[in-house]
Amino acid sequence: MELTGARVAITGASSGIGESTALAFARAGAHVHLAARRTDRLEAVAEQCRAHGVEATAHTVDVRDGDAVTSWAAEVEGLGGCDVAIANAGVMWLGPLLDMPTDELRHQYDVNVHGVLHTLQAFGRPMRERGRGVLMPVSSVLSVANLPRYAAYCGSKHAVRAMAASLRIELAGTGVEVVHVLPGATESEIHAHMDVSRLPLSTREAKRVPASQVAAAMVRAARRPKAEVLCDGQGRLLYWATRLAPALVDAVLPKAMALRRRR
Ligand SMILES: NC(=O)c1ccc[n+]([C@@H]2O[C@H](COP(=O)([O-])OP(=O)(O)OC[C@H]3O[C@@H](n4cnc5c(N)ncnc54)[C@H](OP(=O)(O)O)[C@@H]3O)[C@@H](O)[C@H]2O)c1
């Protein structure tokens, strides 16, 4: 897809991967339509995007609210239609699954699963009518791999991967592509919200790539769509190790994490 003049909608664009992705598409010449809850942060990102000579709009949207997502999508449609819709908004709460508070579990699935579904439906329906467009749900390498104390998060991301794979088959031949994005450990604010004491290893020690690296991978994938997009070496290693030897990874990874914690 040619990105100059294309319209790109991004959820969770007020920080981290979404913010970097908005800037990367704006630099590539695309108009960007940004959604999240923190309006002031979104406005600041939109302002930076406009500096690249493109249109950029900020929309206060909670992706848990399907009607709000639909209204936002209708606004973008009114501007000429959305070419790429990126369902990126997400939260991460960790801890032993059996002990996690119900409100944390619900919130996590409402954002990470229902928020993605709302976005795919709201933007995917008009794309299917037009016979073109790219839907880009963002999950994680933890949509394939499993980690102790990440069970709720992994479950929500595995759901996104399964939906993306099935939707790709449903939409085959319609002109609408489904590109599933699986970031690995990435610098962002998501880690700031975590209670580190609940973790099996100190995430402060985890190696993370800049959010701009994930953003660049998404821009490349919008230009040349493919089924799955891995964004960094560590993520690629975990993805392929889990695909090829899942039982081995399930056995070895928690031990490796425990060793790391003791160091
Ligand atoms: N960072 C990593 O290591 C990593 C690895 C793999 C996958 N991911 C995934 O990448 C995506 C982006 O995360 P990030 O790392 O960039 O974290 P982040 O900096 O915390 O960004 C999360 C974004 O989601 C938005 N958001 C959260 N709840 C929302 C809601 N109810 N409605 C609308 N927007 C909401 C936040 O905006 P507001 O608070 O303003 O609403 C923010 O813009 C997530 O899906 C995450 O699971 C991250």
Q: What is the pLDDT of residues 119-145, one digit of tens each?
A: 999 999 999 999 999 999 999 999 999
Q: Is the CB of 92 under 6 A from ligand 1?
A: yes
For residue 212, what is the domain's CATH number? 3.40.50.720
Q: Which residue has the tokens 């990440």?
A: 150
In a domain, 147, yes or no: yes
CA of 12 to the centre of ligand 1 (A): 5
What integer is the mean pLDDT of 241-253? 92
Query: Of 229, 222, 227, nearest to 2 (Cα)?
Result: 222
The chain-wide mean pLDDT, for the chain, equals 93
From residue 140, how far is each of 101, 133, 165, 246 by CA, in Å? 23, 22, 14, 16
CA 100, chain centre distance (Å): 23
Atom of ligand 1 nearest to the CA of 19: 43
Residue-range definition of the domain harbouring residue 218? 7-262
Angle, vertex CA 211, rays to CA 82 and CA 123, nearest 5: 15
**What is the tally of structural domains in the chain?**
1
In a domain, 228, yes or no: yes
In a domain, 2, yes or no: no
Nearest CA to ligand 1 atom 42: 12
In a domain, 91, yes or no: yes
To the nearest 10°, report the CA torsion of 195, 87, 216, 14. Answer: -60
CA of 173 to the centre of ligand 1 (A): 31
The pLDDT score that the predictor gives to residue 204 is 53
In a domain, 71, yes or no: yes
In a domain, 155, yes or no: yes
pLDDT band at 202 (very low <50, low <70, confident <90, very high): very low
Q: Would residue 153 show up in a list of annotated catalytic residues for this protein?
A: yes
Name the pTM for this structure. 0.95
Write down the catalytic residue from 109, 150, 153, 239: 153
Calpha distance 132→242 (Å, rounded): 33
In a domain, 149, yes or no: yes
Region for residue 150 given its phi and psi (left: phi exceeds 0; alpha: psi -120 to 50; beta: otherwise):
alpha
In a domain, 1, yes or no: no
Q: Is the CB of 138 under 6 A from ligand 1?
A: yes
